[in-house]
Structure 1
Amino acid sequence: MFLKRITLQHENIPSYHEYPFSIPSIKSFDRLDLNWNVTFFVGENGSGKSTLLEAIADKCEFNTAGGNRNNSYAVHAALSDYVTLSWMPKVTNGFFLRAESFYHFATHVDDTDMNGYKYYGGRSLHEQSHGESHLSLFLNRFKGKAIYLLDEPEAALSPQRQLAFLRIIHDLTVDGDCQFIIATLSPILLGYPDATNWCFDDGRIEELEYEMTDHYIITRYFLENRERFLKDILED
């Protein structure tokens, strides 16, 4: 574990009526303590989980459009000026995966890579399927003693490859001394054992057990009661 605590500097926030401070979960939280190598941010779309993850990436000096400290394009993370990170010890190695801008990251790699795509499976990410390119990144670029911030990595992964990704997380945290903070909508990824789940719903950020998350509850109900579930939502 490297990053121990995330604190919001409420005293410096100019107004809670403007984005991103108007997001209920962001407005209400003071600090998050990170007590395990794998932490999940979970919640509905627009609940603030990606906004906070992006701010953490910016404070780590990672590229906020996706990448590490060496990538030169970025987007502004408005929240980062009001967030404090507490480390023990601080690390500079790592990566921020932003699913929605991964295409632009792959193009940036094509324009700048001088190592024969050594860190991406030996060929351009654009020459691999969306899922293959993500796994190539995880398998070849992710190494030990680093912090990895991932925004919805499941967007490109089939259920089977999500399970493969769980093994990658396991190997890097157990053998490589890595820390992961992952914003996700996937009930498969959320099932990783002993992870901490911070839920951003209901206007606050609170820790929930896996079986108490909406993602688990709704998915389980759908799988066990598919016909009834579809009848309820499709028929008047």
Structure 2
Amino acid sequence: MFLKRISLLRENIERFDQYPFNIPSITSLEHLDLTSDVTFLVGENGSGKSTLLEAVAEKCGFNLAGGSRNNTYDVHAVHSDLGEQIRLSWMPKITNGFFMRAESFYQFATHLDDLKADGARGAYDAYGGRSLHEQSHGESFLSLFLNRFNGRAIYLLDEPEAALSPQRQLTFLRILHDLTTNEGCQFIIATHSPILLGYPDALILNFDAGQIEEIKYEMTDHYQITRYFLENRERFLKDLLEE
């Protein structure tokens, strides 16, 4: 592990009634201690998990549209107000890593194509040797994980399951295991996937209770709702659709 703690510089914030500081999970934040090589951020949309992940990415110097410190391209004006008001505590400090956001991955793939068109040598070398646009959505995600990610780095992923089938989510779990065990990588992942959340010994932080709290896998809504649905599908759908 490299990143040990995320702290909110509360003394520097003038108002907590404006976005993003009015998000309950952010309003109540003082610091988060990261105790595992793999940390999952869970919660409903709007709960603040992606907002915090984006802030960490900005503090790391990663491109907020997706990429590393070396990917300098603009999709639109991307900036994190929260990123200016957090402190990251490292041991040791590292600069290698990547921020992947599913919603702007298409633009990142286009950025690589533009580099190639401009004559950049090896533009695709770290991504499987060919354009990510020439691969299916799921293939391009796995190509990124398999070829671009390597050791002594921190990887921030926002909903990586967006393009992955259940089978490929299992493949990603194996990649996650190999990268943390053999390469020394650290991951912070915002996700809705009950499959990914099942990764052993991960730290799961829940953003839904008005403050950020550690939660056990079996206590997450993702696990409980999925389990209940699979075990009681007909009753679940009857209650849902006949209300």
Question: TM-score, normalization: structure 1?
Answer: 0.98
- Corresponding residue for residue 42 of structure 1: 42
Residues in 2 aligned to 1:87 and 1:195: alpha-carbon distance in whole angstroms: 19
Gaps of at least 5 residues in structure 1 are none
SS at match of 1:123: coil
- Mapping of residues 1-236 of structure 1, within 5 Å: 1-74=1-74, 75-113=78-116, 114-115=121-122, 117-236=124-243
1:90-129 deviations in Å (ceiling 9; x for gaps)? 1111100011100100000111142151111121111111
Superimposed CA distance per residue, residues 137-179 of structure 1 (whole angstroms, 9 cap, x where no aligned partner): 0000001110000000000100000000000010000000110
> What secondary structure does 2:234 align onto?
helix
In 1, the alpha carbon distance for the partners of 2:29 and 2:80 equals 18
> How far did residue 208 of structure 1 move?
0.3
Structure 2 contact 112–123 (Cα < 8 Å) conserved: no
- Residue aligned with 1:92, SS: coil
CA distance in 2, matches of 1:34, 1:107: 34
Distance (whole Å) between structure 1 residues aligned to residue 90 and residue 123 of structure 2: 35
Q: Deviations over 1:15-54 (max 9, x none)?
A: 1111100101010110000111000001111100000000
Please give the alpha-carbon distance, in whole angstroms, between the structure 2 residues aligned to 1:12 and 1:217.
39
Does 36-45 or 115-124 show the bigger shift? 115-124
Give the distance between the partners of 1:107 and 1:155, measured in 2 at CA: 18
> For 2:129, what is the secondary structure of its paired residue?
coil
The separation in 2 between residues aligned to 1:215 and 1:89, in whole angstroms, is 34
After TM superposition, the structure 1 stretch with the greater mean CA deviation from structure 2, 163-172 or 65-74, is 65-74
Deviation at 1:73, TM superposition (A): 2.7
Looking at structure 2, the residues matched to 184 and 8 of structure 1 have their Cα atoms a distance apart, in angstroms, of 22
Q: Which runs of 5+ in 2 are unaligned?
A: none
DSSP 3-state at the match of 1:70: coil
Cα separation, 1, equivalents of 2:153 and 2:72? 20
Amino acid at match of 1:198: L
Residues matched between the structures, number: 236
- Checking the alignment, whether the CA contact within 8 Å between 2:96 and 2:152 is kept in structure 1 is yes
User: Aligned AA for 1:78?
Assistant: D
Query: What letter matches 1:84 in structure 2?
Result: R
